[in-house]
Structure 1
Amino acid sequence: MSATPSKPSMAEKIGLIDDFCGRARILPVITINREEEILPLADALAAGGLTTLEVTLRSALGLTAIRLLREARPALCIGAGTVLDPAMLAEAEAAGAQFLVSPGGTAELLQAGVESALPLLPGISSASEIMLGYALGYRRFKLFPAEVCGGAAALKALGGPFPGVRFCPTGGVNPDNLRRYMQVPNVMCVGGSWMLEAGWIAAGDWARVTRVSAEALTLLD
């Protein structure tokens, strides 16, 4: 009789977040509108150097995309974004997501994240929200919407009372401010969608997606 695998501790899940964020540096935030876009879009991002992808559950195809990418593109790291409640968390976990991202955090969702085998990166927009997650063992958060919440200056200020906390700012991040965010010591990666212009995707201009992705990474060198 085989032993049941033990659930990762919060410290181990923090390590997993550090690993995928450190490798990603830029986390594309993807919303799938047509099933035929899934593989070519992921391939275009990967060709540009972006191989850790956040597939949002904003569309009905989010879970389909996660399942397909986990099966057809196993070399990529695929997370589920816009996870709003424990039921969505469970669906994303069942679909094969490797990490979870939420725009905010309720007590129920944060507790479900503690109990999940997957690392959850909960969204915050204030020090009080950080403290709610901190009490449950969270040390990694998404600042959202980053620019509206004060941008790089807010992240620097949060570094004082929360020296062990690190962030993935998302919302308003673009090539003009990318470097400024990444220069803040408590930023581990950034999330964005500027490389995913709707017109390029509708036209199947995958070469442009690849080029803009690669150009963004050069800004961090």
Structure 2
Amino acid sequence: MRVVVADSLTLEPGTFFRSGSSPTDGFAPNASSPPGNGSAFDQNSSSLFGGEGNSGLENIDVQDLPAAAINDATNGDLFLETAVPLDDKDQLGDATNGLFQVTNDSAEAKPVAIRFTGFGPDGDGDSGDLSKQQVVETFEFYDSGNNHISTDDPDGTGPNGTVAGEVSIAPGTTEQIYLEYDTEEHASDLRNIAGASQNPFNNSSSGTTIDLVDSIEVGVDDQ
């Protein structure tokens, strides 16, 4: 998924992908210590899904899941990939180890939320796909206070729907944002989209992927 970021904010890889627990530690996915079951990859050299001239799912094994890859970039140049198993409910990152970190570069507090602005071909509500509502129920972003701050109703008020909440980021401070996922609730639909009777990640030769989210917007909730 690609990211659009509002002015006065800097978005970059979170501590999930860094060499230590500080937001100023170096970008080093291979040397990081992600919490829980998560695995971190450098999207510049190990794209999960075959981007950047890489070999896609051959880069990860079932034991790597859930996995996230990000490039060492900021704002609109940032690109995040995630791979999660079916019939699972877990998270990538936590309150102190975000997939993203957002720094407020302005002189005043900024209320920030995440909106799903582009849905993938398997999650745009066409026949046989997940609905947009199902997608936002499958992937939810949370702040360091464990508050849900991403789209909860894609058809709500505003061009990109409504959000469950927002986080106020003080001037000069950095907020960690992590991801919770639930592939249990809509597992049957996801399996049908993948065309797999079992978890597609258990068959490395199938190369099956499901594209649900193409882009998100991180910024001031002014809609």
TM-score range, shorter chain: under 0.3
Higher strand share: 2
TM-score w.r.t. structure 2 length? Answer: 0.26
Relative contact order, higher structure (CA 8 A, sep 6+): 2
Which structure: greater helix fraction?
Answer: 1
